[in-house]
Chain A
Amino acid sequence: MPEMTYLEAINTALREEMSRDPSVFVLGEDVGVFGGCFGVTQGLLDAFGPERVLDTPISETAIIGASVGAAAAGLRPVAEIMFMDFMGVCMDEIFNQAAKIRYMFGGKAAIPMTLRTPCGAGLGAAAQHSQSMEAWFAHIPGLKVVMPSTPADAKGLLTSAIRDDNPVIFIEHKMLYGVKGSVPDGEYAIPLGKGDVKREGSDVTVVATSLMVHKALAAAETLAEEGVEVEVVDPRCLVPLDQDTILKSVAKTGKLVVVHEAVKSGGIGGEIAAIVAEEGFDFLDAPIRRIGAPFAPIPFASNLEKAYIPSEETIIEAVRSLA
């Protein structure tokens, strides 16, 4: 299996899908000549030309609105919103248009579009360029929400997202772009809604998303030295959410920590905890622990940003408190 970065994996999926299906096209700010703000669409313009790789004006409302319309008219747009924080600008197009059209029209329309966007803090980019707002989208019936943590997952899940006939919000983490991992040869698709056990363990289940999967795995290594075996579950998709994989793990360990980078309160961790409390109460030997960011915007100063982002140490502490 070849090694590639998360960024290269996403770029490869875009190339493969564009080669396979002429109805797939890419649009967004600076995705052409510049190759995307983070470089994800590098080379696509040369490979597929300006008809299929569209540099847009700074008009997020129209980028997503036009994607919805093009999708309704039979194309498969893959739109990039440069930072997740800018999605407020196109929120109506996402939640009133893309998400609801099929239902409102009695199933007569499909909106097969993908919206890719990077989330996450860690670059000192402050309050309007660092957020993780996946819970907003997971709350809206009609959208699928994907949050890959590894290059292999990113490639297989983006492939599925593009092939899916529903609008998919595909959330990349900007601090993962440079992370390497092995990726299966050739084209493959990972079904949306299938979680993955990233590490098996018998003592405590840690459900983590996106970048936090890596912190949970690192925490698990430290804890293993103390004799605590952590099972790390990555749901990979928030909608549809693979409840079975989570419940099966909790049935085995009896203990659950949920961790995400987004603000803890109102976050997807609450949903996961609630599902386990409702469906797996009898499995639990201890209270569920949630880890997320504090209830504050993301600060600029490096020391504050570091304190803000949930850390490996916080995960270790939470697991220790249960183990």
Chain B
Amino acid sequence: MALSQEKLLELYRKMVTIRVFEENTAELFAKGEIPGFVHLYVGEEATAVGVIAHLKDHDYIASTHRGHGHLIARGGDVKQMYAELFGRKTGYCKGKGGSMHIADLSLGFLGANGIVGAGLPLIAGAAFACKYRGDDGVAVCFFGDGASNRGTFHEALNMASIWKLPAIFVCENNMYAISLSQELHQNIDDVADRAAAYGLPGISVDGNDLFAVYEAAEEAVKRARNGDGPTLIESKTYRWRGHFEGDPVVYRTEEELQAWKKKDPIERAKKRMMETGVLTEEEDKAIWEEVRSEIQEGIEFAKNSPLPEEESLLEDVYCE
């Protein structure tokens, strides 16, 4: 796989967009401008970007409560995303869903999810639909290390395996399920090991290395498109922020966080791109500046958008 310079820059910009989107979300939440719960993706950018890079327009994605990064990687519109976080009519879900339920069906994005582990069987179903129609579509489910302890994980992997579904299960192992470190919630080091139980390939990658994630996903997507069945990819990474905004983070050490910050996926990608002459310091600066202004526009759009009308409360409960 040789990534073109253009493609590389596109992926890099997406990682930067996720970072800036999330940092601004944290600030807005702290100022009380965003209600509800938000779970941020800072530090995990390479996983979403490296996997979604391989998807075609007719592919599907199921996301999680920590879903902003997945949608940005898929090309989601940050204006509509912020508007949704603010609970505005112009948001992705007309203000009905909020951060935990952002969806964009036009992008095959079947939504963030408030129920941990809910996405896995849904994506088995979407993969079934791809196979049923006979197009070469694939379906990707993101989920956490914590979610791999839910029954849905085991049931969906087994089903996808026996039916040879074109599914890619991407475990974002950020080493914590809220306050429980991985060693407290499961007796294995690699979630990928669980694939063996269901007869599908399982692979662990350095989730803070964009290129490693990209390569693993390339293989898995190829398998799925060729009709060879599902793959479990475990992307080992770390969330820099609390589980949710407002989390006092009493369960881990500052040293651990600092050590992971040294493995910043964006810095690492930048370094490699600079070494190979794909990116210069000036170009990098320009990317960050452009992204920052795009994000500011998104926030302004959201703030200037109207609230949903009260009559909309009873709309969209059913199809008409």
Contact = CB atoms under 8 A, between A and B. Distances in A.
Interface of A: 29-30, 32-34, 37, 55, 57-61, 85-86, 88-89, 123-129, 294-297, 299-304, 307-308
A245 B5 CA distance: 76
B296 interface: no
Contact of B314 (A33, A61, A295, A300): A295
A308 B93 CA distance: 17
Main secondary structure of the interface of A (DSSP, over half): loop
Contacts of B116: 58
A301 B95 contact: yes
Contacts of A124: 35-37, 87, 98
Nearest to B37: A125
Contacts of B179: 30, 32-34, 55
B146 interface: yes
Contacts of A59: 149-151
Contacts of A89: 115, 150-151
Given A89-B150, A124-B36, A297 B88 contact: no
A162 to B, nearest CB: 25
B147 interface: yes
A107 to B, nearest CB: 31
A248 to B, nearest CB: 37
Nearest to A61: B151
A33 B317 CA distance: 40
Interface in B59-95: 84, 87-88, 93, 95
Contact of B37 (A60, A129, A295, A302): A129
A109 to B, nearest CB: 25
A128 B115 CA distance: 7
Contact of B114 (A57, A61, A129, A304): A129
A29 B35 contact: no
B185 A57 contact: yes
Interface in B300-320: 307-308, 310, 312-314, 317
Given A58-B149, A86-B115, A129-B114, A302 B35 contact: yes
Contacts of A61: 150-151
A149 B270 CA distance: 56
Interface string B185-202: 110000000000000000
Instruction: List the 7 shortest-distance A-B pairs measured between CB atoms, nearest first.
Output: A124-B35, A128-B114, A301-B87, A300-B98, A301-B95, A124-B36, A34-B179
